[in-house]
Structure 1
């Protein structure tokens, strides 16, 4: 019994340390506010430095504010980042692929692209479930660490009849919580 208690206490301690690590690195944490609530994304500059830098640049410009989720497939992903809402638009600046070993799990945030691996721009998606067929072919650059229940509430469709939108997106370090 004592061993079980000690193991549980260690697990709680590890979870607290993990949460604290995300809180401490506010420069690499995004707040994605939806009409339902806040989604917190921990970015991975160690795995995709150029993608993280570009996303932060766009966020700080207010690029994503008001943008809809134009492609939402249950059991797969929710895609956003196109200011036209058609799935054909972007910021106009392509990013070379940074394929890495991050798996596409529930909550993984990854860059959308066309057939050309180096065609990523501003569009990204959040995985609803494990999507191993994307591993090594799409640049994963972050992970939802809070508010995944709000991602689950995003309106479904290609495009949705009444699309959900990003109310505001910000880098946590900018201090406008």
Structure 2
């Protein structure tokens, strides 16, 4: 029997999966770029500051490992209860000193409390809840959605919502985040409402879209996927590590808003609701690089790139030249035009 996503090693159940998002207008390359279509790099080079956004530090998690830092953007618009719980857990230092306990090939890595007995598990701390509702999907009202032009096998419509890859079913009035590479989700057991955000996973393999609407997705990795995808694979069931020494220690997981400014990572994310992004999508749908001999005319949701960058340096304002000061008369000197007594 195939392993269920979201399952914990010590319980029969279900485990995990995740990633991404991007809203997008259907724009042909002929409309987006007059003349010769631009490459993806040319499009990015021509971007303006308004084509980029800065993630809210209250929705940005820093997962710090010995090997470096992973940046995760949370998605409160899709999973408000789970995101609120994750924020509380991070503020409480819940994951500090824990470990990545699972690395399943072509699937996910997962972290949380490795203790198997409930009595041995770490308290959640102030403001964190042990029980949350399942947040597999949400209503479409009020949700921005930029639709991709191509059909999808997992949803009537796919596209991006505020930078997150998502599916949408207008007939059912439902929208949800899609399990793309880099997606972050909340592991659960058999019951739909058995996740609370204490055990999180990241998709490191081929997009397991069968998990869409079957597990709560809480965000996506913006930076640092290379630190997670290279972790040694677990040899136990579902890719769990069989020995504590095999686990990857977690130094800390913190909200960027709780980190001193000098320690924060500057990052900008390409907006997915602009003509420039629509042009970028078309450039990837139909590769016109000289190497390509056939244009696909199609792109999968999870194959749409989501560029990030370090904020460009601010231009240094040219200092105005100081005005020359008027010379003061020397001490004892007589004012001009004064007459002798």
Q: Give the match's secondary structure for 1:99.
A: coil
Larger radius of gyration: 2
Unaligned runs of 5+ in 1: none
TM-score (norm 1): 0.86
Which piece of structure 1 moves more, 149-158 or 38-47? Answer: 149-158
2:154 maps to 1:70: no
TM-score (norm 2): 0.46
Q: Give the distance between the partners of 1:69 and 1:8, measured in 2 at CA.
A: 35
1:134 is matched with 211
2:221 maps to 1:144: yes
104, 107, 128: which is aligned to 2:182?
A: 107
Q: Give the match's secondary structure for 1:170.
A: strand
Unaligned runs of 5+ in 2: 1-33, 138-175, 235-239, 264-341
1:159 is matched with 241
CA contact (8 A) 1:155 1:163 kept: no
> RMSD of aligned C-alpha atoms?
2.6
Q: Give the distance between the partners of 2:242 and 2:51, measured in 1 at CA.
A: 39
Decide which structure has greater helix share.
1
Runs of 4+ in 1 over 6 A off after TM superposition: none
Q: Give deviations 1:58-87, integer Å, cap 9, x for gaps.
A: 001000111111221011001112252x49
1:168 is matched with 252
Q: Give the match's secondary structure for 2:134.
A: coil
Change (3 A) 1:17 1:35: farther
183, 192, 215: which is aligned to 1:117?
A: 192
Equivalent pairs counted in the alignment come to 173
Change (3 A) 1:46 1:168: same
Q: Give the match's secondary structure for 2:202.
A: strand
Change (3 A) 1:165 1:7: closer
